Amino acid sequence: MNNPRRNLLKGIILSGAAMSSNVAFSLAANTSKTKLLPLKGRINHSVARWTYADLSIEELCKVVTSIGFSAIDLVGPKDWPMLKRYGIESSMCNGAEINLVDGWIHPQFHDELVERYIQHIDLLAEAGYTNLVCFSGNARGMTKEVGLNNAMKGLQRILPYAEQKGVVVQMELFNSKIDHPDYMADTSAWGVALCQQLDSPNFKLLYDIYHMQVSEGDIIRTIRNHHQYFGHYHTAGVPGRNEIDDSQELHYPAIAQAIRETGFVGFLAQEFIPTPDNQSDKIESLRHAIQICDV
């Protein structure tokens, strides 16, 4: 089954690639008119790279700067130099994973995953970044208990090195109901249990609010009760994974406030798929989302 994130990730434009003239014109027109948001400084904002895949990484840096925050999520090593040029943080790094389905619950992939993650941990440490995403993978008939045990054994092989290098490995929670059928880490309870088993300050959960609303709901209570295990947050509207405005069922100002009240100092990253056809309105969607979550 296709899903938007997997498909759009394949379409991300390489750093430095030229954009079509109409997109470039729209971007230039929009950023020239955009005023910096008067952000309160209590939430660290970011945006997922793949959701604005029709922009080059440099142009997304310009958009982020024009709005007034300074982080982009899910960026790999090849694009870090461009982020540094614009003073933009790589708030969640990627590229160590094999893919979204062959993950840490599968012992047959452990050797390859360990090699890839050790290499990326070194790259993050050298670049001065902290967060590195990982994935459980798909169950393929495996029980939750076996998957938990397998993931624990595999991740224990890299976490001492991550601790030494100051890198936090974060497993993203997905829903298996709509977007990622058969994904193992599809509830906060399973992810929290893995954190408790590993008992490492350098392993956390990437709590995706959209996915967990689809899977289980009870978002604010979960954040309040288990925030110590959540190292990063993603947003999107439910249903549809689009804008986080009044067109969907979640009230993001209250969610952002609950996150802030836990003392969270990490990043809240927008990962919605913008619905407008023209680039200027897509950028306005991002600007509005940042404003909604700036509590």
Q: What CATH number is given to the structural domain containing 94?
A: 3.20.20.150
Asked whether 135 and 98 are in contact (CB, 8 A), the reply is: no
Inside any domain, residue 21: no
Inside any domain, residue 231: yes
Of residues 44, 99, 5, 47, the one with CA closest to residue 234: 47
For the whole model, what pTM was predicted?
Answer: 0.89
Inside any domain, residue 20: no
Domain coverage including residue 70 = 4-14+26-293
Inside any domain, residue 149: yes
Inside any domain, residue 127: yes
Contacts of 165 (CB under 8 A, 6+ apart): 121, 122, 124, 125
Question: Domain total for the chain?
Answer: 1
Inside any domain, residue 19: no
Could you report the per-residue pLDDT of 190-216, keeping only the tens digit for each? 999 999 999 999 999 999 999 999 999
Tens digits of pLDDT across the chain (295 residues): 445 555 444 444 333 333 333 444 345 444 445 567 789 999 999 999 999 999 999 999 999 999 999 999 999 999 999 999 999 999 999 999 999 999 999 999 999 999 999 999 999 999 999 999 999 999 999 999 999 999 999 999 999 999 999 999 999 999 999 999 999 999 999 999 999 999 999 999 999 999 999 999 999 999 999 999 999 999 999 999 999 999 999 999 999 999 999 999 999 999 999 999 999 999 999 999 999 999 9
Inside any domain, residue 172: yes
Inside any domain, residue 111: yes
- Tokens standing for residue 20: 């079509």
R_g over Cα of the chain: 18
